[in-house]
Amino acid sequence: MKEAVTIKEIARRLMISPSTVSRALQDHPRISVATKQAVRALAEELKYLPSTTARNLRQGKTGMIGVVLPEIRENFFSEVLNGVEAIAFDRNYTVALYQSHDRYDREKQILDVLAAQRVDGVLLSVAKESRRFEHIQRLIDLQIPVVLFDRIPPDIRTHQVSCDMEKGAYEAIKWLAGRGHRRIALLNGPHPLVASEERYRGYINALLEEELPVENALIKRVDLTRADIHQKMAQLLALPEPPDAVLAFNDYVALDAMQVCRTQGLRMNQDIVFVSFANLPLNAYLEQPPMASVEQHPFLIGQTAASILMEVVQAKEPVTDWKQVMLEPKLVLHNGQG
């Protein structure tokens, strides 16, 4: 690989000081127009590229932020990343992407690595296995800014960006009740996830308001694996009075559960109706998608989280006013449903 051209090389050829070259490249007013023109012409001829590493070191920054999410293959998180990169690229920041694969030990190891690298900040959506959060607090104690998004653990005082899943679940149940459904099941996510508890509260509140039955038998928690989803959906269908509608944790859970219903001869969106979360783009290509899905605005979540992090990183004084941004959900109907 060809050795990079440095400011010292430009200075040597023009027989001026490296500091003069640096100021000329920065358009310093005390450098003459002739010198600026000469420096820029030679820099272009030699294909000089400024060293962002050197600049960041002078500013006490690395120019890098860490993004830690459960699974990049999930459309929601890939869209979040797109939103993050849109902001980071515009601010000349490098994004270091890590996947926890929903494992606590891996998440902890990743945050230890990012702390050792002294990244300028971290965006994090916690793994479903995580029950303890000292590893997150350690970053905050090291004064490395942290913005939590989507999956947000309780009792961590830092910046947060999410979508109002309680309201999304509430509106989904109200919509189902308005269509005449009376036995509505909940295929919820794992217990530790705050997002699961938010869905549960919205589900219960809407049922109570509609004077519909609240039955433990209609509420199932899944670990988000296909095997567990299939098992829990089969249990719901085996009830003496099975559900006529299901609110699923996300579109992936809904699609796996719908497979079980088909094997038992049920007609989708007729014998049983599914409403879920995430509003995956693939729904537009399915002949029988969930009847409706709650849009969580992942791209906007990524943009908002990254913007907050950039603001904190570039602040001259420590930021202790924790920002908590909660976006409004939107129930999106599929296949022309009304």
User: 177 and 86 in one domain?
Assistant: no
Clarify whether residues 214 and 258 are in a common domain: yes
For position 57, what pLDDT does the model report?
A: 46
Q: Is there a single domain that holds both residue 144 and residue 198?
A: no
Determine the Cα–Cα distance for residues 220 and 184; give it in Å rounded to an integer. 12
In this predicted structure, what is the pLDDT of residue 1? 47
- Give the Cα separation of 81 and 95 in Å (integer): 9
| The predicted structure's pLDDT at residue 320 | 72
Helix (H, G, I), strand (E, B) or coil at 336: coil
Contact partners, residue 318, CB within 8 Å, separation at least 6 = 143
- CATH number of the domain within which 16 lies: 1.10.260.40
* Token pair for 69: 């999410």
Structurally, how many domains does the chain consist of? 3
Would you call 307 helix, strand, or coil by DSSP? helix
Is the distance from CB of 313 to CB of 143 less than 8 angstroms? Answer: no
Tell me if 273 is assigned to some domain: yes
Domain that holds residue 17: 7-50
Judge if pTM exceeds 0.75: yes
Tell whether 204 and 94 lie within a shared domain. no
**Residue 178 and residue 290 in one domain:** yes
pLDDT along the chain (338 residues), means of 10: 76 91 87 92 85 52 91 94 96 94 96 93 95 94 94 92 97 97 96 90 98 95 96 98 97 97 95 96 88 97 97 80 94 75
Question: How far separated are the first and last CA of the chain, in Å rounded?
Answer: 61
